[in-house]
Structure 1
Amino acid sequence: MAESNSTSEAVSYGYEGDVALICVDNPPVNATGIAVREGLVKAIEAINEEAKAGAIAIYCAGRTFIAGADIREFGKPPMAPSLTEVVNVIEQSKIPTLSVLHGTTLGGGFETALGTHARVAMKGAKFGLPEVLLGIIPGAGGTQRLPRVSSIAYTLDIAVSGRHAPVEEGLEKGAIDRVVEPGEPRDIAIAMGREVIAGTLPTRRTNEIDVTRDDAAIEQTLAMVKKKNPHLINLAECVEAIGKSSLPLQEGLKAEREHFMVCLNSPQRSGLIHAFFGERAVSNIPEAKGDTRPLGKIGVIGGGTMGSGITTSCLMAGIPVRLIEVQQDGLDRGVATITKNLDGAVSRGKMSSDKRDAALAMLEPSLAMEDLADVDLVIEAVFEKMEIKKEIFGKLDTICKPGAILASNTSYLDVNKIADMTNRPQDVLGLHFFSPAHVMRLLEIVQGAKTAPDALATGFALAKKLKKVGVLAQVCDGFIGNRILGHYGKVISYLVLDGASPAQVDSALEGFGMAMGPHKVGDLAGLDIGYMTRQRRKEEGYPADERYGGDIADRISERVGHGRKTGKGYYLYETGAPVPNPEVDAIIDEVRAEKGITPKDFTDQDIVDRYMTAFIAEATRVVEDGTAKRPVDVDMVFLFGYGFPRHRGGPLHYADSIGAAELVRRIEEYAKEDPYYWQVPALLRKMAEDGTKFADMNT
């Protein structure tokens, strides 16, 4: 019979013979909001009181089992019953309980399933405990119950990584009791309930299972997280909590709660939550939600590093690509790079060999630009020279069909000037991918002065299809990311000119949490890119009052090399791991002597403070002049495109932790040395006066 007893707006129960069925129906992902928690407790209690069933089966309507917490409750006062109380009620049920998992069973959803006495999953489903990605740890028994049904070592793997695991793996490790063919969750719940009653599907309560402490696994994992992620205290807290699973369950749950609260009250949790919501917020704008144009076939011009990466990304998303080069050897290199990229995806488990072959079959290499006549979108990814790009867009204007979108992958150049080379500026926009384009998730979507709304919305649709974070930017030199990079890059140069070494700057900023120091990043990206930009700006003319800090970098590019691609730059790469390059030290001494600079000492904190203050100042101007819509857009650009530490939430989220008044004080102090570079943005001064934060501008 159909469920007819509603215990809340999200939960109902009923009977099919002697099997009691509890259905959770809380779209879109059956999150464990208050209605689900209340409903589950009332249903379990009612079924036990009615005493008509031999088994209770919990299943979910829709596309997934419970997929985690209800994000609408984040930051709000907790409401009883807590999820821990819900799971305890399920586990303590006198009537055996089972859960039927499909879709993605994550976080609190998997903790709910761990409270049942058996877990049945459909093939292809996934499960996990991803709380560490939000700066916390599983807080409703995940660190205590998973070791009981599986092992401490496997729990460390699942909970510390936050990964989504296939249920077939879970079956092998004991986390899942049965894997069945996909079907209607209700039908499977009935069948499995009958097996519980018949004794063919064994059940067990986790509070009756003992755990043997695995000191070797605990110590190894703790050492690993402290080495790789010393900034993320929640990872160590997670390991410690899992180590308590050898205690009696109620003691372990109490210890888990203590570790959870340490994480909940940490600054990094705030940063990671901001990153979580920010990733969704950047596309939650009117510009991203309008009508879109087709994306059936894409053309990419240029088979170099960027063009090959963009092509790879499109092929992996199932979009056919026509790749254009001017010479056969360049085309062959591009195809080889794309093939290598796809092979790498196979080796990393990102795609199967069959999907790799299918992706390559969608690639059409060509030496004729005329072959772009039928594509829906063209992405130009050639050398960063305005003359070359103008010439290409002039040709595309005559070749491409009406309504085709013409996009430039430019990092700095004026999209409006590029659009002026066509008779269809409404079809032109910037799509700034980040290298390697098939790996990096950021996509700056640059709106030209005449870009049509449906062309812009299509840029966001492409980002979504490619599983990238699309951020809207307006036209300026460098857009959001590279414009800010260009500004704080100067303070890096000034620090080295004035006494710090490149290695010290890198070490200080890696200590702050950056994935790589700026000089290592420069070597990785290629020092010739920055060199060309500086030379272009020299031709345009630097302001007379500006202190030029590029002499050292210029000479390294001219005399030493361009970084990893040439084997040396700021560092030497002959032995694999980067080693400071002594040639660079000689150049630094030479430039300091020419400029009459007596080097002074900087502490690592001095370096971080100057770097972040310069960073925040220009980021403020980007928001102030509308290049970015909101502070959160700036934050997501740097989280997903530049390796900014995720646990700090982004530069402007981090700025709120410093406070506008302190930032103004710093800038005014630094301005005593260089009043041209260190200027207080008007917006920041106003924030200091009225006590507002960047977070206030994100709503």
Structure 2
Amino acid sequence: MNSLVTYQVEDNLALIGLARPPVNALGQPLRAALLQACEQANSDPAVRAIVIFGASGLFCAGADITEFGSPASFATPNLPDVLLRLTRLDKPLVAAIGKLALGGGLELALACGYRIGEPQTRVGLPEINLGLLPGAGGTQRLPRLIGVQAALEMMISGAQVPAKRALELGIVDRLAGSAEHLLASACEYARELIASGAPARPSEPFADPAKGVAADFFERYCVEQEPRWKSRLAPRLVFSAVQAACLLPLEQGLARELALFKQAEASRQSEALRHVFFAEREAGKVPGIDASTPLRPIAKVAVIGAGTMGGGIAMNFANVGIPVILLERQGDALDRGLTQIRQTYGISVKRGKLSEAQLEQRMALLSGTLDYADLADADLVIEAVFEKLQIKQEVFRTLDRVCKPGAILATNTSSLDVDQIAAVTSRPQDVIGLHFFSPANVMRLLEVVNARETAADVLATTLKMGRSIGKIPVVSGVCFGFIGNRMLEPYAREAHRLVLEGATPAQVDGVLTGLDLNMGVFTMLDLAGVDVNFLVRDANRAAIAHDDSYCRLGDELYALGRYGQKTGRGFYQYEGRERHNDYEVIALAERLAGELHVTRRPVDDGEIHARCLFMLINEGIQLLDEGIALRSGDIDLVWINGYGFPAHLGGPMHYAEQYGLDKVLAGIRHYRDSLGDYGRMWFTPAPLLERLVAAGKTTIERI
């Protein structure tokens, strides 16, 4: 038998084990081996039922993603054909689902007439996360098994369903007592089927998926989801495929699903999302670090500062069972911080995402202190105090005195020089930047700032730690703002300048949200705090550049005490969270333009798109050239997970590749020439961008 599957016959049962580690991805070789094994079992008169299982315990995590977008994706035998053939075998097939059945793995299980899981089994159809839809029968067979609404919700969300819920829905027929007994239980199940004369495939619970569904169900569902889908293609294709399951016989529905899958696979959005998938896996690869790099133990964490950021950081560790001590200068500030954490957990309890017992368990892991001496046994200390270099340096001088040898000392600075912070200690090798994004208990991005003297084991430990608390850690070198905030500066600069020139905040934000960004520049600044942005900019004016008159509008709002949502007025007016245009801001922009001798004029949306996005892209390419970012994919991850850039556009670097690097360069040169002194000051193409275009390159890489 092929080495990709194991095959044996025991007591009238053919046991077929998928054996392509680590996750039994259903690439062409495994598809062929599986089909051959099933045909052998089907033709053997001694075999009366077939059990398919994961030879190493895990059933199947889906298709081989590297095949998507290439001829291998539908190389013979393709997955839809293999699974269709399995549904037509004349012997019962039992899928023994260990650990995972995702995507094509669940579609394989659905092609079997019977399914058994174990307590830790999780199933799902997450293809939507790659801009795809289930293309091997999932959109047709799942609605016939569990009903239209439940099936549609599974596919649109891409969420994994735990074993108990899978049993309730009818995705699995029964659960084994444990993972260790799964195969034995599957064999017992198969023997029961033989003994009872069960058919190869039982009748479907929802053979007519449309039956019982309200006549306007699909229309209402589409209207409700439209604001969330925005310009995303995949949800609409999933929706169309499930509609087909209700309107067409199975065979025609399968053909419709396949056509829709191929449309999704060929789309730019799926290409972008596949880029993001692989970028996440590449982000952990750092020169000088490998599996042999030793790791430091992280059994206790300390966080300095119990404000919104410090509290959010602490929650990440409590969530995974690591005790945290929070340090504050004043007792009332510490009490407020711990109370805020409890209230945040309480919201999760109300939403059913956390039990009261879990809340208490996590709060028990959190303690507070006013004394630095209580941090002496911490393995990792994260500073989250005011964003001012002198204050942070004083904190690190103290940590240097009180923390044990080998403790990792991390700063949560969003823009300051980590080398200057490390320099005030006697152990700069133990210092690193860990830039969490607000709210820190929610946002997935963690910028890991590798300072000049940071030790390899410190970097390796924090990268692993970041993943263990559910973050996407991305390594950055030391510079003003690191990757994300350094790129934010020219992006926000152009937004401010465009308002001086005649655009409105709402027009600028509308262009950006029209690209499916979560929010525009001015909405983001109002949310984060106009004061916060001012103070970061004010502390780093020398690093930002030669002329900061473009940000006078933000400076004036700060002086007026208009800090954004929290004060009810910023670039917009607010009633609660409801945002309204503020014509005083436009009048202020007109006055400032006059003082700065900026000519006002109508600004079209195309110019807003080009100036904001091209300068964002240009700065990212410069970061790559300087070695601050290791890969263009790392930059994309930062902007997707930290700044709301839409994943289905692949991040700003991938967006530039799809847009055309030559067009980006031409646009920058155009505005350099057409915007007078301002253009000559700011619109300088990154040398790497010029080299890439000159070399005829279409992807962003160092050359």
Please, which of 129, 132, 135 is the counterpart of residue 133 of structure 1?
129
Per-residue deviation, 1:110: 0.6
Please, which of 433, 439, 442 is the counterpart of residue 439 of structure 1?
442
Tell which deviates more after alignment, 37-46 or 302-311: 37-46
* 8 Å CA contact retained: 1:132, 1:159: yes
Map of 1:3 onto structure 2: none
Please, which of 463, 476, 489 is the counterpart of residue 460 of structure 1?
463
What is the identity, as a one-letter code, of the residue corresponding to 2:341?
I
SS of equivalent residue, structure 2 residue 549: coil
Map of 1:228 onto structure 2: 228
Please, which of 477, 490, 494 is the counterpart of residue 493 of structure 2?
490
Please, which of 441, 448, 459 is the counterpart of residue 451 of structure 2?
448
Map of 2:18 onto structure 1: 24
SS of equivalent residue, structure 2 residue 71: coil
Report whether the alignment pairs 1:635 with 2:636: yes
Q: TM-score, normalised by structure 1?
A: 0.95
Per-residue deviation, 1:648: 0.7
* 8 Å CA contact retained: 1:116, 1:205: no
Map of 2:687 onto structure 1: 682
Instruction: Map Cα deviations across residues 454-474 of structure 1 (whole Å, 9 max, x no partner).
Output: 111111121111111111111
Whole-angstrom distance in 1 between the partners of 2:548 and 2:330: 42
* 8 Å CA contact retained: 2:296, 2:458: yes
Per-residue deviation, 1:75: 4.0
Map of 1:54 onto structure 2: 48
1:553–1:241 Cα change, 3 Å: same
Whole-angstrom distance in 1 between the partners of 2:483 and 2:625: 12
Unaligned runs of 5+ in 2: none
Unaligned runs of 5+ in 1: 1-5
SS of equivalent residue, structure 1 residue 535: helix
Instruction: Map Cα deviations across residues 97-134 of structure 1 (whole Å, 9 max, x no partner).
Output: 12121212110011111111112222332111110110
* 8 Å CA contact retained: 1:331, 1:365: yes
1:93–1:11 Cα change, 3 Å: same
1:351–1:200 Cα change, 3 Å: farther
Map of 1:592 onto structure 2: 593
Map of 1:665 onto structure 2: 666
Whole-angstrom distance in 2 between the partners of 1:81 and 1:366: 64
* 8 Å CA contact retained: 2:15, 2:51: yes
* Matching of residues 162-311 of structure 1 within 5 Å: 162-183=158-179, 184-199=181-196, 203-204=201-202, 209-212=207-210, 214=213, 215-246=215-246, 247-289=248-290, 290-311=293-314
* 8 Å CA contact retained: 1:613, 1:667: yes
Per-residue deviation, 1:69: 1.1
Instruction: Map Cα deviations across residues 123-175 of structure 1 (whole Å, 9 max, x no partner).
Output: 33211111011011110000011111121111111111111112322333333
Whole-angstrom distance in 2 between the partners of 1:553 and 1:207: 61
Per-residue deviation, 1:560: 4.3
Whole-angstrom distance in 2 between the partners of 1:542 and 1:240: 49
Whole-angstrom distance in 2 between the partners of 1:201 and 1:102: 23
Whole-angstrom distance in 2 between the partners of 1:81 and 1:174: 29
Map of 2:391 onto structure 1: 388
- Runs of 4+, deviation exceeding 6 Å: none
Whole-angstrom distance in 1 between the partners of 2:532 and 2:610: 27
Instruction: Map Cα deviations across residues 636-668 of structure 1 (whole Å, 9 max, x no partner).
Output: 111111111100111111111122221121111
Map of 1:571 onto structure 2: 572
Aligned length: 690
1:697–1:241 Cα change, 3 Å: farther
SS of equivalent residue, structure 2 residue 245: helix
What is the identity, as a one-letter code, of the residue corresponding to 1:548?
S
SS of equivalent residue, structure 1 residue 471: strand
Identity of aligned residues (%): 38
What is the identity, as a one-letter code, of the residue corresponding to 2:586?
D
SS of equivalent residue, structure 2 residue 339: helix
What is the identity, as a one-letter code, of the residue corresponding to 1:691?
G
SS of equivalent residue, structure 2 residue 80: helix
Whole-angstrom distance in 2 between the partners of 1:305 and 1:481: 20
Per-residue deviation, 1:24: 1.3
1:69–1:241 Cα change, 3 Å: same
What is the identity, as a one-letter code, of the residue corresponding to 1:9?
S
Instruction: Map Cα deviations across residues 381-433 of structure 1 (whole Å, 9 max, x no partner).
Output: 00001111111111111101111111100011111111111111111111111
Map of 2:401 onto structure 1: 398
* 8 Å CA contact retained: 1:508, 1:607: yes
1:347–1:274 Cα change, 3 Å: farther
SS of equivalent residue, structure 1 residue 675: helix
Q: TM-score, normalised by structure 2?
A: 0.95
Tell which deviates more after alignment, 385-394 or 287-296: 287-296
Instruction: Map Cα deviations across residues 585-626 of structure 1 (whole Å, 9 max, x no partner).
Output: 332232223234342222223211211111111111100111
Map of 2:110 onto structure 1: 114
Map of 1:548 onto structure 2: 549
Map of 1:524 onto structure 2: 527
What is the identity, as a one-letter code, of the residue corresponding to 1:228?
R
* 8 Å CA contact retained: 2:146, 2:205: no
* Matching of residues 413-428 of structure 1 within 5 Å: 413-428=416-431
Per-residue deviation, 1:32: 1.1
Whole-angstrom distance in 1 between the partners of 2:318 and 2:101: 29
* 8 Å CA contact retained: 2:6, 2:55: no
Tell which deviates more after alignment, 520-529 or 285-294: 285-294
